[in-house]
Structure 1
Amino acid sequence: MLQGLVRAALILGVIALGGLLPTPAQAAPAQIDSYAQPSIYPRSPDYELTVNGRKIDVVDYPGYDYAHFSMGAGEATIAVRKLNNTNIGAYSISPRKLGLSGSVSGSTMTFTIPRDEYLIVKLDGRPDLVIAADPAETDKPASSGTGIYNVVSRGADPTGAAMSTAAVQGAVDAANAAGQGTVYVPAGVYKVGNVVLKSNVSLYLAAGAVFRFTGNPADYTHNWHKDSQNRDITWWISTAFGSSNIRVYGRGTLDGNGQQAATQYNFAANILVPIATTDFRFDGLIVRESGAWAIVTARSRDLGFTNVKIFNRFDMGENDGIDVNESQDVTVRHGIGISLDDPWTTKTWRADTDIAKPWPGSPQVVDNVLFDDLISWTRCYGFKVGQGALQPQSRVTFRNGVVYDAAIGIGIHHRYGSALVTGVTFEAIDIEKISVKLVDDRTWLRFIIEDRGLGAGPVRGVTVKNITVRDRGTTTAVLQGFSAAANFDTVRFNHVMMPGATSGATSLAALNITNPSNYSNVTFTP
């Protein structure tokens, strides 16, 4: 009786104050910055996209379509419509760990994200759609003024009819000579030859700005010859040896034009090469259609890559995303890498290796590298250490990653070299799909040491922690050392959830590793 009177009094008090109990506040819609599609790219025949009611252009691309925009704080309601107007049946939204679900009405599927994310949407009967929602730009420079070197003001051609190399390099040189400055690239398409970035210079590509690789060898320096493809390679955009404090950022595109370069000229570009540099930062650009390894670090230190979008093709090989070569203190955070070959990997070489022949100085180690909050979609390894272990590699961590699809989910491929690899961590990785067969393997994990004529070396201290395996593949996982000396030692599996399991694996058999060899000190924590 007393409880009822108290409850009634409380209700009357709320009414007397002017209303019912408050409901939780809804998040405000995010401010959306949409970007006009560059004129050289075809529009998707499959999709129409709106975000918070604002139309977003969708680019048609071999293997998948993609859309790009930025959003401020708040929610974004995304509506994806099939342009053939057929009703949507099955659909998926990745990363699956986000738990996003859509509402379907005929040919349109709608869902909401609480913050900027990189997503892959699959609708029945249509190509996959990559939706790249970047954070809002908070440090966009002015297009002119003190310390700003606008390339169009210096003669660059935004129509792409003429080469703009001299204007771009001249702006870089002038900013460097002044002690510091920002090279500003307005929206437009620019055919550009080799550009060498120098100390204390920022290169900013505005939304809608495209640097376009011509593919013609006559327009570029031939930096090295890739033996496996019998193809000359150029460092398209690189850093000056001994440089420091360089930034490359914005919402534009670095387009390697790889298909034309390879088929018409048997030529290709490493799109971005931070080499012999320190304090280098990359943020926000699209890196597209590389005909060789797209971003190659070489003998550098203190490098940071954020909001990375690598959109390569699946019908071109040896087009890795970011290869961290012989560099230290490197962070790659928040990105999506799509390529036939490995999107995210580390490597070390010796001085006479084809790629390393033009590198300055002596071979260096890989140390203290973090790959964090990344999506991988590939025909090879989702996340990998190696190939290439001719110098030591240590403290390499892959964390908070998603393997959307791959042949191998996570891997250590100690091949080409006998150096020690130590302190490798795979943590909080979600392996969604293993649908491609790479040579003989199609599996969630492949740790292997081989000798291809350059020796074999040991791997010490590997942690595989908090892994969700939704698809284990069709072949067994691999834990295979080369010999008693070149073996895997101290491998920790901590809370690895295999498909259908209710707790973490406690044996190699539970991990689908059925034929291990040359290993020791393997432990399990469920």
Structure 2
Amino acid sequence: MGTVVSIKKTNLMNIRKIFIAFSLCVAVAQAGAADYNIVDFGAVGDTARLSTVAVQQAIDACSRAGGGRVIVPTGGYKIGTIVLKSNVNLHLEHGATLYGSTDLADYKPVKSDYLSLRTQTETIQLIYADDVDNVVIDGHGTIDGRGKAFKKLSWNDEGITRPHLLRFIRGRDITVKDITLRNSGCWMQHYLACDRLRIDGIRVKNRNNYNNDALDIDGCHDVIVTGMTADSDDDAITLKSTSPRLCENVTISNCVVSSHCNAIKLGTETNGGFRNINISGIAVKPSEDQTSQYFGLPRGISAISLEIVDGGVLENVSVSGITVEGTEAPIFVRLGNRARGYYNGQVIGNVGIIRDVHIDNVIVRNAGATGCSVTGLPGHPVENVRLSDILICHKGGGKKTPVPADEKEKDYPEATMWDTLPAKGFFVRHARNVVFDNVEIRTDTPDERPEYVREDAF
């Protein structure tokens, strides 16, 4: 018995030694990761004075030392473009706000050598990072781009004369957590060709200019987005593919979003496409603030838009557990052939692919009467789409409507592109193995259209 007790005591002592050693390692690591307060580098809590240089010096010093936290303390600080670097944690304390300058001269034009649709010219952004590892933006502070100051000068001027607020290109192990993002000049946050991206618990308000998306994930792999609350004039949760790199292995859950356009959208740029996408637990509602509208409709165009129009592939996509208040045409699945390349002069010679999609457990109230659609092109059908356990309630009142004669093969894809559809439920054209299971369409007033209209669909 004495020997057993001795062994037990020895094991306990060894465990304690291991724990103490681990604790010391953590303490040493934490001690090595120092804090760099922007005020110590000359930042001034006065929005009449520019603190760009001070903030950048804090970032540079942190990076040179091997990493740590760059602290933005309580107060308001005006900046132009700052560039984040590897192993830097930009931490905004409660009550801290970084305000974007309203002078374009304070923004640094940059050009990445990663080739995509939107990297072929110099672009401007408030916070930028390219080819970085292990970068964190967190805290309970705010980044406000004051984007209303930048007027729209041409159709494709986003990032040219109207700055993005946050842009990561080729980032690895990127975390954005708990902060509030407001008022970008165009897209709020653009993550291009990033790996292992995590977005957690952020709040987004982007309703002060054109192209005011809330979130754009573009050709990224291994992404987790959770707990985001977003209110945007343009698209809310947006996956894109502006290069051959697919958006792949993406999970988005437990978010509340409002949009004048599309609440959940895969597209429009789809050169690579989307694979292994899981979107669940999303509440879609109209914005409580209807004082401005640049694009879309007051209650939104669609809740779910899944699109391929630039030759890419969309496969293994699941959208489930979606509750929707409003939107004109709640569900839109579209295979088109806009065929826009991702670099000047590129010719897209193939039509893309949509297959293996499951949309289930969706409840929609107070939708518009346009109807929903699942459409491909002649000889290029949408394949293997299952829609189950769906309830759509809309105002009804529709008259008998003919099937659209124009395929609109090259048109910009939008859920309202054919205006009122021939079905009060779903219009399905050029499709194979589209299955409806426990789908119910309710209308407030009688509607002359059938629930389903199929053409070249079986």
Q: Verify same fold: TM over 0.5.
A: yes
Equivalent AA in structure 2 for residue 519 of structure 1: A
The structural deviation recorded for 1:262 is 2.4
Q: Could you list the per-position Cα deviations for residues 391-441 of structure 1 after superposition, in whole angstroms to 9, with x for gaps in the alignment?
A: 1311122210011032211111223x111111121110001122xxxxxxx
Distance 1:410 1:263, change over 3 A: closer
Q: Is the 8 A contact 2:311 2:339 kept in 1?
A: no
Asked if the contact 2:262/2:301 (under 8 Å) is kept, the reply is: yes
Alpha-carbon distance in structure 1 between the residues aligned to 2:152 and 2:318: 39
SS in 2 for 1:400: strand
- Note if 1:380 corresponds to 2:231: no
TM-fit CA distance, 1:190: 1.0
Does the CA-based 8 Å contact 1:215-1:268 persist in structure 2?
no
Q: Secondary structure at the match of 1:158?
A: coil
Aligned to 2:194: 300
Mapped to 1, the partners of 2:204 and 2:267 lie a distance apart of 20
For residues 236-385 of structure 1, the aligned pairs below 5 Å read 236-241=126-131, 243-262=132-151, 267-313=161-207, 316-350=209-243, 363-385=244-266
Shift of 1:185: 0.5
Q: 1:224, CA displacement in angstroms?
A: 6.8
Indicate the residue corresponding to 1:521 in structure 2.
433
- Structure 1 partner of 2:362: 467
Query: Equivalent residues in 2 for 1:164-183 (5 A)?
Result: 164-183=51-70
Q: CA deviation at 1:452?
A: 2.1
* Partners of 1:336 and 1:465 in 2: CA distance: 22
Q: Percent identity?
A: 27
**Equivalent residue pairs, number:** 350
Aligned pairs for 1:67-78 within 5 A: none
3-state DSSP of counterpart to 2:41: coil
Structure 1: gaps spanning 5 or more residues? 1-143, 351-362, 435-441, 501-508
1:132 is matched with none
The separation in 2 between residues aligned to 1:483 and 1:424, in whole angstroms, is 23
Native 8 Å contact 1:232 1:267 kept in 2:
no
Q: How has the CA–CA distance of structure 1 residues 333 and 514 changed in structure 2, closer, same or farther, with 3 Å as cutoff?
A: closer
Distance 2:314 2:426 in 1: 24
1:481 maps to what in 2? 376
Contact (CA 8 Å) 1:483, 1:518: kept in 2 or not? yes
What code does the residue aligned with 2:109 have? Answer: H
Task: Tell me the distance in 1 between the aligned counterparts of 2:65 and 2:364.
Answer: 53
Q: Which amino acid letter does the alignment assign opposite residue 407 of structure 1?
A: I
Query: Residue 67 of structure 1 corresponds to which residue in structure 2?
Result: none
Matched to 2:353, the amino acid is P
Residue 395 of structure 1: SS of its match in structure 2? strand
Deviations 1:125-152 (Å, cap 9, x if unpaired)? Answer: xxxxxxxxxxxxxxxxxxx997010001
Structure 1 contact 498–511 (Cα < 8 Å) conserved:
no
Alpha-carbon deviation of 1:472?
3.4
The alpha carbon displacement at 1:469 in A equals 1.6
Note closer, same or farther for the CA distance 1:146–1:397 as it changes in structure 2 (3 Å cut): closer
Rate the CA distance shift 1:494–1:511 in 2: closer, same or farther, 3 A: farther
Contact (CA 8 Å) 2:326, 2:365: kept in 1 or not?
yes
Deviation at 1:223, TM superposition (A): 3.7
Distance apart, 1:227 and its partner CA: 10
* Displacement after TM superposition at 1:374 (Å): 1.0
Q: Does the CA contact (< 8 Å) of 1:165 and 1:193 recur in 2?
A: yes
State the shift of 1:216 in Å: 1.6
**Structure-2 residue corresponding to 1:394:** 275
Letter in 2 for 1:522: V
1-side partners of 2:232 and 2:37: how far apart? 33
Report 1 or 2 for greater relative contact order, CA contacts < 8 Å, sequence distance ≥ 6.
Answer: 2
Q: CA RMSD in A?
A: 2.7
Q: Is the 8 A contact 1:393 1:421 kept in 2?
A: yes
Distance in 2 between residues matched to 1:212 and 1:413, nearest whole Å: 35
- Going from structure 1 to structure 2, the CA distance change for 1:263 and 1:495 (only over 3 Å counts) comes to closer
Residues 97-144 of structure 1: per-residue CA shift (max 9 Å, x gap): xxxxxxxxxxxxxxxxxxxxxxxxxxxxxxxxxxxxxxxxxxxxxxx9
For 1:387 and 1:342, locate their aligned partners in 2 and report how far apart those are by CA, in whole Å: 10
Question: Is the Cα–Cα contact under 8 Å of residues 325 and 367 in structure 2 kept in the other structure?
Answer: no
Which residue identity does 2:136 align to in structure 1?
A: R
* Counterpart position of 1:235: 125
Q: Aligned pair in 2 of structure 1 residues 340, 155: CA closer, same or farther (>3 Å)?
A: same
Q: Secondary structure at the match of 1:375?
A: strand
Structure-1 separation of matches of 2:203 and 2:422: 35
SS of equivalent to 1:478? strand
**SS of residue in 2 equivalent to 1:163:** coil
Q: Give secondary structure in 2 for the equivalent of 1:175.
A: helix
| TM-fit CA distance, 1:222 | 2.4
Which residue number in structure 1 is paired with residue 76 of structure 2? 189
Deviation at 1:156, TM superposition (A): 0.3
* Secondary structure of 2:388 counterpart: strand
Which residue does 1:419 correspond to in 2?
312
CA distance in 2, matches of 1:511, 1:495: 19
Deviations 1:318-358 (A, max 9, x none): 111111011101111101111111011111124xxxxxxxx
d(CA) in 1 for partners of 2:426, 2:191:
37
Displacement after TM superposition at 1:165 (Å): 1.2
Structure 1 residues 411 and 146, CA gap change in structure 2 (3 angstroms): closer
Q: Does 1:444 align with 2:330?
A: yes
TM superposition shift of 1:235: 2.5
For the pair 1:148 / 2:42, whether they are aligned, the reply is no
Match of 2:106 in 1: 219
CA distance in 2, matches of 1:278, 1:247: 11
Q: Provide the C-alpha distance between the structure 2 equivalents of 1:453 and 1:247, rounded to a whole number of angstroms.
A: 36
Distance 1:199 1:520, change over 3 A: same
Letter in 2 for 1:251: H
| Conserved? CA contact 2:178–2:203, under 8 Å | yes
Unpaired runs of at least 5, structure 2: 1-30, 287-299, 341-347, 395-420, 439-458
Decide whether the 8 Å contact of 1:339 with 1:379 is kept in 2. yes
